[in-house]
């Protein structure tokens, strides 16, 4: 027998389980206004404290405090709140539509609305996002993409621009700087870095914004993307949405327990920030800082957005099996909609009455869009595309084995 003790592995566990409240002290939440804001040309090693702390602007009373408080006009904030409310209503209706079998599958971004919506404000026309399936807010804040178009895709109906070949939610809007979503997670990150490098090689001025979830950072693509982004100082913003869960796997399993996802960026030579993702103002301020760095050829920035996936992973998931049902209510960073609403009320630019009124207006707007989309068909009762369409638009000249399969199908 060896005189050494038996070796053992550490397997991270969440601090809460169904019936046992989560201890959120693991999050290490800084006070609003506490973190410093360095100049955009700061070197990566000077962001070390910012990758372990938490950049926050909105305090408990909804006031904007500290060096990261951005200068955003009230109409922009009002539109931001409206878009977050619209996104939540849209999501809720689409979950119901899935339960009614009108769509086959859906993924909501409940609780994470501020991230995509405030981030979009820091981007310019022509910039390209490489999103995952929880950034519908990038599209719902735009005037050049309609809710009907999104719903057509979700219902895989006759007006679906993807012709039913993409899983619902996997949108593609080149004109809106929204790269086709791929279900193969983490691919978005290397694609974003590659696109950003191409933009620089061409001498263009457009930057890229890549997206990944906490769980997906465990994929090799994440690390490859960081290496290329760092080495070539690619003009890209690397967004890691840490919503605490990857389906039923706690974020610690992907490596967020004794370090942070932002700190991984610093280790790779990339300026990195850890930011309150439920704080609309902090999301905008950090995104703007990172976008400016990219535009000024100062290289990539990794931003870890700390948030909470308040809903189920997808319509195929039941989170009550693996986490406490009231987790979101107890999450220390609160609800992004309530926080921006409180801020605007404090500024005298919103009221409870207006909130109720806007809620009703948006519910009617989303319902009308659904009615319009359903005119083109749903998964419940068609009309369905011919099976022949799955063979179209893939190869310029269809290979023989596919021609044979098509014949076999008789279409
Ligand atoms: C490469 C790859 N592995 C596994 C999956 C299956 N899968 C789909 S979503 C998901 C969880 C992802 O969690 P996270 O990255 O934290 O994103 P979130 O869903 O929380 O937004 C997994 C494992 C996949 N789609 N692609
Ligand atoms: Mg996650």
Are residue 325 and residue 398 in the same domain, yes or no? Answer: no
- Residue 199: enclosing H or E segment and its boundaries? helix 187-201
Is the confidence at residue 264, as pLDDT, over 90? yes
**Cα-to-centroid distance, 40 and ligand 1 (Å):** 32
The arithmetic mean of pLDDT across residues 314-326, rounded, is 97
Residue 309, burial from CB neighbour count under 10 angstroms (0-12, 13-18, 19+): buried
**Probe residue for ligand 1, chosen from 112, 132, 216, 323 as the CB with the greatest number of ligand atoms within 8 Å:** 216
Does residue 309 line the site of ligand 1, with CB under 6 A? yes
The rounded distance, in Å, linking the Cα atoms of 91 and 94 is 5
How many domains is the chain partitioned into structurally? 2
Please report where in the chains the tokens 């809106």 appear, as a residue. Answer: 176
Are residue 297 and residue 411 in the same domain, yes or no? Answer: no
**Cα-to-centroid distance, 247 and ligand 1 (Å):** 7
pLDDT at 385: 80
Domain assignment present for 132 = yes
Q: Which of 40, 191, 204 is nearest to 129 (CA)?
A: 191
| Segments forming the whole domain that contains residue 410 | 386-411
Domain assignment present for 98 = yes
**Probe residue for ligand 1, chosen from 170, 185, 328 as the CB with the greatest number of ligand atoms within 8 Å:** 185
Domain assignment present for 13 = no
The arithmetic mean of pLDDT across residues 200-216, rounded, is 98
pLDDT tens profile 159-190: 999 998 899 999 999 999 999 999 999 999 99
Q: What tokens appear for 93 in the block? A: 């209706």
The rounded distance, in Å, linking the Cα atoms of 342 and 328 is 19
The rounded distance, in Å, linking the Cα atoms of 64 and 32 is 8
**Cα-to-centroid distance, 217 and ligand 1 (Å):** 10
Are residue 345 and residue 279 in the same domain, yes or no? Answer: yes
Across the beta sheet with 236-242, what order do the strands follow?
A: 128-130, 208-213, 236-242, 301-306, 271-276
Are residue 159 and residue 145 in the same domain, yes or no? Answer: yes
Domain assignment present for 22 = no
Domain assignment present for 6 = no
pLDDT at 124: 98
Q: What tokens appear for 112 in the block? A: 């994470």
The arithmetic mean of pLDDT across residues 71-79, rounded, is 97
Domain assignment present for 18 = no
Express as a percent the part of the chain with pLDDT over 90: 95
Are residue 250 and residue 390 in the same domain, yes or no? Answer: no
Is the confidence at residue 324, as pLDDT, over 90? yes
pLDDT at 293: 98
Does residue 184 line the site of ligand 1, with CB under 6 A? yes
Are residue 326 and residue 391 in the same domain, yes or no? Answer: no
CATH number of the domain within which 117 lies:
3.40.50.970
pLDDT class for 56, splitting at 50, 70, 90? very high
Minimum mean pLDDT range among 207-216, 227-236, 387-396:
387-396
pLDDT at 382: 85
Point out the ligand nearest to the CA of residue 220: 1
pTM of the model: 0.97
Are residue 292 and residue 411 in the same domain, yes or no? Answer: no
The arithmetic mean of pLDDT across residues 191-213, rounded, is 98
Q: Which atom of ligand 1 is nearest to the CA of 186?
A: 1
Are residue 38 and residue 90 in the same domain, yes or no? Answer: yes
pLDDT at 366: 98
Averaged pLDDT score across all residues of the chain:
97
Are residue 302 and residue 394 in the same domain, yes or no? Answer: no
Give 145's contacts (C-beta < 8 A, 6+ positions apart).
139, 173, 176, 178
Q: Which residues pair with 385 in a beta bridge?
A: none
Residue 364, burial from CB neighbour count under 10 angstroms (0-12, 13-18, 19+): exposed
Residue 129, SS3 per DSSP: strand
Are residue 119 and residue 252 in the same domain, yes or no? Answer: yes
pLDDT at 388: 85
Are residue 401 and residue 283 in the same domain, yes or no? Answer: no
The arithmetic mean of pLDDT across residues 100-119, rounded, is 98
Is the confidence at residue 96, as pLDDT, over 90? yes
Does residue 215 line the site of ligand 1, with CB under 6 A? yes
**Cα-to-centroid distance, 184 and ligand 2 (Å):** 15
Are residue 286 and residue 400 in the same domain, yes or no? Answer: no
Is the confidence at residue 1, as pLDDT, over 90? no
pLDDT at 387: 84
Express as a percent the part of the chain with pLDDT over 70: 100
The arithmetic mean of pLDDT across residues 73-94, rounded, is 98
Domain assignment present for 21 = no
């Amino acid at each position: 027998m060896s005189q050494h003790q038996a070796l053992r592995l550490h397997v991270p566990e969440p601090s809460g389980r169904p019936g046992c409240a989560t201890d959120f002290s693991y999050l290490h939440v800084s006070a609003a206004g506490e973190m410093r804001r360095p100049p955009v040309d700061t070197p990566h090693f000077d962001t070390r404290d910012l990758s372990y702390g938490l950049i926050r602007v909105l305090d408990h009373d909804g006031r904007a405090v500290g060096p990261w408080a951005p200068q955003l006009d009230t109409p922009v904030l009002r539109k931001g709140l409206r878009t977050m409310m619209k996104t939540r209503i849209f999501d809720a209706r689409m979950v119901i539509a899935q339960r009614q079998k009108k769509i086959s599958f859906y993924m909501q971004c409940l609780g994470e609305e501020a991230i995509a919506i405030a981030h979009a404000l820091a981007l310019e026309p022509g910039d390209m996002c490489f999103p995952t399936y929880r950034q519908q807010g990038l599209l719902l804040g735009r005037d050049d993409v309609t809710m009907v178009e999104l719903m057509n895709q979700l219902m895989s109906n006759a007006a679906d621009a993807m012709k039913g070949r993409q899983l619902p939610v996997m949108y593609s809007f080149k004109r809106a700087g929204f790269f086709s979503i791929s279900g193969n997670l983490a691919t978005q990150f290397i694609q974003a870095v590659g696109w950003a490098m191409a933009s620089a090689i061409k001498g263009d001025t457009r930057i890229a914004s890549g997206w990944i979830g906490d769980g997906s950072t465990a994929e090799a693509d994440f690390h490859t993307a960081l290496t290329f982004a760092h080495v070539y100082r690619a003009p890209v913003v690397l967004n890691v949405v840490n919503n605490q869960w990857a389906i039923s796997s706690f974020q610690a399993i992907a490596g967020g327990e004794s370090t942070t996802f932002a700190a991984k960026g610093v280790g790779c030579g990339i300026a990195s920030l850890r930011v309150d993702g439920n704080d609309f103002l902090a999301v905008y301020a950090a995104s703007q800082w990172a976008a400016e760095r990219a535009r000024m050829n100062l290289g990539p920035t990794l931003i870890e957005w700390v948030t909470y996936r308040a809903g189920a992973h997808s319509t195929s998931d039941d989170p009550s099996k693996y986490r406490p049902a009231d987790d979101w209510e107890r999450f220390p960073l609160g609800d992004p909609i309530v926080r921006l609403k409180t801020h605007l009320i404090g500024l005298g630019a919103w009221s409870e009455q207006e909130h109720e009124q806007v809620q009703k207006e948006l519910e009617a707007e989303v319902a009308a869009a659904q009615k319009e989309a359903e005119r083109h068909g749903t998964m419940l009762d068609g009309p369905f595309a011919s099976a022949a369409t799955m063979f179209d638009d893939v190869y310029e000249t269809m290979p023989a084995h596919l021609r044979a399969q098509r014949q076999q199908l008789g279409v």
